[in-house]
Chain A
Amino acid sequence: MAIPAQTRERLATECRQIMARYPQRRSALLPMLHLVQSEEGYVSPDGIALCAELLDLTAAEVAAVATFYTQFKRHPNGEYTVGVCTNTLCAVMGGDAIYDSLSEHLGVGHDETTEDGKITLERIECNAACDYAPVVMVNWEFFDNQTPASAREVTDRLRAGEDVAPTRGAAKVCTFKEISRVLAGFPDGRANEGVGAGPATLEGVRLAERNGWKAPSQDGDGTQSGPSEEK
């Protein structure tokens, strides 16, 4: 897949915008790789060549960086990356069962893509949502407290072309190319969508509210509130 000249021109312009965010332009490399990935759905030889040219690096130097990071794909990715957390806590809480069930349901293994090009299945590491275990990430949006059945349903709906909303995230899961562009630092206007926090995030705050528990009011005079003892 070669990048057409016109697209290449636009990408080059956007890459220069990325470089301008940093005191030294090489710092732009990771976001630039996200950007080329947003065009082709993976980091292609053409994409690597473009980054190399703009940063005065060799293609080998750029490839050495690209291959270090798991989010950069070396072959065309599906429209949706479905990542099941199978690190210890999620695995124990059901992540292993979810992964097995999805793998069977989709007929693909780790880092493989369904024939319709819709879904790339992955085992992923801890995604900082352990209080919502087991967790599935679709294009790096949170699907909390999943079960094998709920995860299968998400993939079925994605493959049917429906809009699917994550538990905490944008109003719908965007495509892999779209979110790659966001990760390159080009906002998609969706920041105000979705919740601020899920229920587990708020567990402690809500409990404190119900009991009137607070941080001390001032200067360590230790207001001992807490008359109520509801748990």
Chain B
Amino acid sequence: MAESITTDPLTPVLSATWGADRSWTLQTYEQHEGYAGLRAALRQQPGEIIDTVKESGLRGRGGAGFPTGMKWGFLPKPDGGPRYLVVNADESEPGTCKDIPLMLAAPHLLVEGVVITSFAIGCNHAFIYVRGEVVHVYRRLMQAVEEAYAAGYLGRNILGSGFDLDITVHAGAGAYICGEETALLDSLEGLRGQPRLKPPFPAVAGLYARPTVVNNVESIASVPSIIRRGPDWFKSMGTEKSTGYGIFSLSGHVTRPGQYEAPLGTTLRQLLDLAGGIREGHELKFWTPGGSSTPIFTAEHLDVPLDFEQVAAAGSMLGTRALQIFDETTCVVRATLRWTEFYAHESCGKCTPCREGTFWMKQVLRRLEAGQGTEEDLDTLLDQCDNILGRAFCALGDGATSPVMSSIKYFRDEFIAHQREGRCPFDPVASTLFAGADIQ
């Protein structure tokens, strides 16, 4: 079982082929056991595949961590009408940068996962909704789908199994909210991307009001390896309730930012060790464990195992393992203001707490950052968070409160220092990548 086994610090599965020559082609993918998982899956009953994924403990990699196999199991019994799989490839949560490089380097990993998942849930038309702002990723996905049709992995009677599947790769057009699964479905139906009331959940009434599974790219890309190597293999990595490997994305003030695929439960201290530490001559100040919607952490959280339970117990969320790392040169008020401007910009406007609340938080934070705020402004901000959190229509509103509440919690003094000095006490040049270099 999971506890007794020591795995290597890094466990590349999804990323294993990214460095291969022409890694994105079918030929390269097949040379690395590509579509072996599909062949194995097609020899099984769909229900067995769902059981295997349940057994593996795989939890959604798109942020919320919902058990993937259980989600598939929620679909009602087939009624003869269509059922859909929609892959969420909208990746827009600030700090999150794993799905895009995955699809650029290994689009077939996703395509194979889509075919297996579709077979398991009885879907004959799947969609990949990719954000529109990554044209080369869209090219690679379209080509991968074309290659898969030509090789008989898509289309009619796939590999002689009698199973039919079409994939449509769909480009969005710029809107963070379209990553929220029900907004994504509205957008895919050709509407403004605004969240839907739940219930009904997509499993019951999703795309075109039909039973629909929405899963993240990394979740679906994990399926082929689970089918090929079994649930026990998957569970031999990670922690008891957060099994398997996951991509940790390190960005910001680290020596070697990048993608590090490791067992869930790895700590930031261990990851920093692999990434060469905080950039030379500096020290860690604050970081996000899972994107900007997850409350920030500080150096006191270096040893928190990064799995769903333990990050939550420490007061944040694992989210998308988007580790944005900031050293002591960074002004936390500036960071919070910018994130808040982002949420205000991306608020879809459907509900009042988020639409109005993010706007007002932005105004107050601007004042504070300019050194013209007061200490009461901090209470006003916390009050505004109170009015959004739990009252917004979707999780975007809740997410908008995370940076504000957590930065005030850990760095109250820094907000006050702005007021005392009547300006931001930080030099923005010192925190840039090119600080000190003569490249202005």
Interface check B241, CB cutoff 8 A: no
Q: Are A89 and B22 also in contact (CB < 8 A) when A31-B171, A131-B259, A191-B139 are?
A: no
Of B96, B190, B233, B439, which is within 8 A of A218 by CB? B233
A30 closest partner in B (C-beta): B173
Cα of A70 to Cα of B131 in the assembled complex, Å? 12
Q: Smallest Cβ distance from B282 to chain A, in angstroms? A: 13
B100 touching A128 by the CB < 8 A rule?
Answer: yes
User: What residues on B are CB-neighbors of A140 within 8 Å?
Assistant: 132-135
Contact code string A37-75 (vs B, CB < 8 Å = 1, else 0): 000000000000000000100000000110011111000
Of A55, A69, A86, which is within 8 A of B173 by CB? A69
Contact code string B1-36 (vs A, CB < 8 Å = 1, else 0): 100111111111101101110111100000000000
Which of B174, B250, B339 neighbours the largest number of chain A CB atoms within 10 Å of its CB?
B174
Which of B25, B324, B334 neighbours the largest number of chain A CB atoms within 10 Å of its CB?
B324
Cα of A194 to Cα of B10 in the assembled complex, Å? 27
Scan residues 152-202 of chain B and give those whose CB is less than 8 A from a CB of chain A. Answer: 168-176, 187-193
User: What residues on B are CB-neighbors of A24 within 8 Å?
Assistant: 189, 208
Q: Are A93 and B252 also in contact (CB < 8 A) when A125-B342, A204-B10 are?
A: yes
Contact code string A192-231 (vs B, CB < 8 Å = 1, else 0): 1010111111111111110101111011111011100001
Cα of A126 to Cα of B13 in the assembled complex, Å? 26
Cα of A150 to Cα of B433 in the assembled complex, Å? 13
Cα of A168 to Cα of B104 in the assembled complex, Å? 9
Interface check A108, CB cutoff 8 A: no
Of the listed stretches B38-46, B359-367, B415-423, B424-432, name the one at the interface; the rest are far from the partner chain.
B424-432
User: What residues on B are CB-neighbors of A183 within 8 Å?
Assistant: 132, 135, 138, 171, 173
B91 touching A220 by the CB < 8 A rule?
Answer: no
B19 touching A205 by the CB < 8 A rule?
Answer: yes
- B interface residues, tally (CB under 8 Å): 109
B337 closest partner in A (C-beta): A88
A139 touching B135 by the CB < 8 A rule?
Answer: yes
Interface check A124, CB cutoff 8 A: yes
Of A91, A149, A220, which is within 8 A of B439 by CB? A149
Interface check B322, CB cutoff 8 A: yes
Interface check B71, CB cutoff 8 A: no
Interface check B61, CB cutoff 8 A: no
A140 closest partner in B (C-beta): B135
Contact code string B261-292 (vs A, CB < 8 Å = 1, else 0): 11000000000011110000000000000001
B13 closest partner in A (C-beta): A215
User: What residues on A are CB-neighbors of B91 within 8 Å?
Assistant: 128
- A interface residues, tally (CB under 8 Å): 96
Scan residues 274-326 of chain B and give those whose CB is less than 8 A from a CB of chain A. Answer: 274-276, 292, 322, 324, 326
Cα of A41 to Cα of B22 in the assembled complex, Å? 33
Cα of A225 to Cα of B431 in the assembled complex, Å? 39
Q: Are A65 and B170 also in contact (CB < 8 A) when A127-B134, A169-B136 are?
A: no
Interface check B242, CB cutoff 8 A: no
User: What residues on A are CB-neighbors of B245 within 8 Å?
Assistant: 215
Interface check B95, CB cutoff 8 A: yes
Q: Are A94 and B434 also in contact (CB < 8 A) when A34-B173, A89-B324, A205-B15 are?
A: yes
Cα of A222 to Cα of B237 in the assembled complex, Å? 9
User: What residues on B are CB-neighbors of A3 within 8 Å?
Assistant: none
B19 touching A206 by the CB < 8 A rule?
Answer: yes
A185 touching B193 by the CB < 8 A rule?
Answer: no
Interface check B65, CB cutoff 8 A: no
Of B18, B134, B257, B440, which is within 8 A of A128 by CB? B134
Q: Are A201 and B136 also in contact (CB < 8 A) when A96-B428, A131-B259, A218-B229 are?
A: no
B232 touching A126 by the CB < 8 A rule?
Answer: no
Interface check B125, CB cutoff 8 A: yes
B249 touching A130 by the CB < 8 A rule?
Answer: yes
B132 touching A34 by the CB < 8 A rule?
Answer: yes
Cα of A213 to Cα of B262 in the assembled complex, Å? 10
Which of B101, B172, B191, B237 neighbours the largest number of chain A CB atoms within 10 Å of its CB?
B101
Q: Smallest Cβ distance from B202 to chain A, in angstroms? A: 16
B136 touching A142 by the CB < 8 A rule?
Answer: yes
User: What residues on B are CB-neighbors of A15 within 8 Å?
Assistant: none
User: What residues on A are CB-neighbors of B54 within 8 Å?
Assistant: none
A125 touching B94 by the CB < 8 A rule?
Answer: yes
A131 touching B250 by the CB < 8 A rule?
Answer: yes
A87 touching B338 by the CB < 8 A rule?
Answer: yes
B431 touching A93 by the CB < 8 A rule?
Answer: yes
Cα of A34 to Cα of B169 in the assembled complex, Å? 14
A208 closest partner in B (C-beta): B10
The chain B residues found within 8 Å of chain A, CB to CB, are: 1, 4-13, 15-16, 18-20, 22-25, 82, 91-97, 99-101, 104-106, 125, 131-136, 138-140, 142-143, 146, 168-176, 187-193, 208, 229-230, 232-233, 235-237, 245, 248-252, 256-262, 273-276, 292, 322, 324, 326, 330, 334-335, 338-339, 342, 345-346, 428-429, 431-434, 437, 439-440
* Pairs A–B under 8 Å by Cβ, sample size 14: A86-B338, A88-B339, A89-B251, A140-B134, A169-B136, A185-B142, A191-B140, A191-B143, A200-B259, A202-B259, A204-B258, A204-B262, A215-B245, A220-B232
- Top 4 A-B residue pairs of the complex, sorted by shortest distance between their CB atoms: A203-B258, A220-B236, A29-B190, A130-B251
The chain A residues found within 8 Å of chain B, CB to CB, are: 21-24, 26-31, 33-34, 55, 64-65, 68-72, 83, 86-89, 91-94, 96-97, 101, 124-134, 137, 139-142, 145, 147-150, 166, 168-170, 179, 182-185, 187-188, 190-192, 194, 196-209, 211, 213-216, 218-222, 224-226, 231
Beyond the given A72-B173, A93-B431, A226-B8, please list 19 additional residue pairs across the A-B interface where CB-CB is below 8 A.
Answer: A22-B168, A30-B173, A97-B428, A128-B99, A131-B258, A133-B251, A141-B135, A169-B135, A185-B169, A185-B170, A196-B23, A197-B23, A199-B258, A201-B15, A203-B258, A207-B10, A219-B230, A220-B5, A231-B273
